[in-house]
Amino acid sequence: MKRFSKFLSIVVICTSFASLAFGQFGNQHFSNQMMDRQMRMGQMYNYGVYESDFNLKYEYIVMLKDSTTKEVKSKIYTDTTLHKNYVLIINKDFKKSDPNREIKIYADQTLSISRETPSHEIVTGSATDSCWLFKVIEGPIKAYSFLPPNASRFSEYSIVGIQKDAGPILPFKPENLIKMIAPEPKAMEKFKYKEYLKALKTYNKNIAKKIN
């Protein structure tokens, strides 16, 4: 039950980030309802897989707001009091009881966070007022996760934003997705059965075929 509560806290945190970080949405914030009830329950049910496979400890380069950088080896953690995500620096020169042992760097203190994959690809997350956003799907409809992909793999349950072409990034919830995929019947067929990620991918695939 503690795991489920922690996961739900992460979802709420990332659904409330300020879109101002993307320089195109003014002061409008995302709704706390990123997905419908079924997808929310699906997220919690799959939390064990999500936690072990996708929220790994990486060597990150964190760019702070003054454009200086720090190297941090950390998972992405959640501050359930402040409703923000952060990475953690542990100074082992201090005792565990010393408050100076741990330093938290919150998303809203940064411009970006990035890591290099074993294949030397740079994976970057853009900072918002509560979490970092990583692009996990390219195409006519792009998708953004609050966790970095692991070897090009990502959890469907970590997707919080979608963007069609050069339009605004919107919450990943059914009423936004259906407006984006409505012209494509095969994508709508997936949507009808609440296979939202498959609907998005089907739209991208079929639109790409039409363009080519």
154 and 172 Cβ atoms separated by less than 8 Å:
no
pLDDT of 162-183, one tens digit each? 999 999 999 999 999 999 999 8
Pick from 100, 19, 106: nearest CA to 64: 106
* Angular region, 10: left φ>0, alpha ψ -120 to 50, beta rest: alpha
pLDDT of 55-69, one tens digit each? 889 999 999 999 999
d(CA 35, CA 29): 15
**DSSP per-residue letters across 66-106:** TS-EEEEEE--EEETTTTEEEEEEE-TTS-TT-GGGEEEEE
pLDDT at 41: 33
User: Among 20-29, 63-72, 92-101, which range has the highest average pLDDT?
Assistant: 63-72
24: pLDDT strictly greater than 60: no
Instruction: Please compute the mean of the pLDDT values over residues 93-112 and round it to a whole number.
Output: 91
pLDDT at 51: 52
pLDDT at 14: 60
Which pair of structure tokens corresponds to residue 148?
């970095």
Query: pLDDT band for position 116 (50/70/90)?
Result: very high
Higher pLDDT, residue 6 or 34: 6
53: pLDDT strictly greater than 90: no
Question: What pTM, to 2 d.p., does this model score?
Answer: 0.77
Which pair of structure tokens corresponds to residue 155?
């959890």
Phi, psi (deg, nearest 5) at residue 51: -65, -45
d(CA 106, CA 128): 10
Query: pLDDT band for position 212 (50/70/90)?
Result: low
Sheet containing 77-79: which strands, arranged edge to edge? 77-79, 84-90, 102-106
**Any idea which of 91-95, 176-180, 208-212 has the lowest mean pLDDT?**
208-212
Q: How many CB atoms lie within 10 A of CB 123?
A: 18
Higher pLDDT, residue 91 or 9: 91
**Any idea which of 9-23, 26-40, 77-91, 143-157 has the lowest mean pLDDT?**
26-40
Pick from 136, 143, 110, 106: nearest CA to 121: 136
d(CA 79, CA 17): 14
- Annotated domain spans of the chain: 2-172
Higher pLDDT, residue 107 or 23: 107
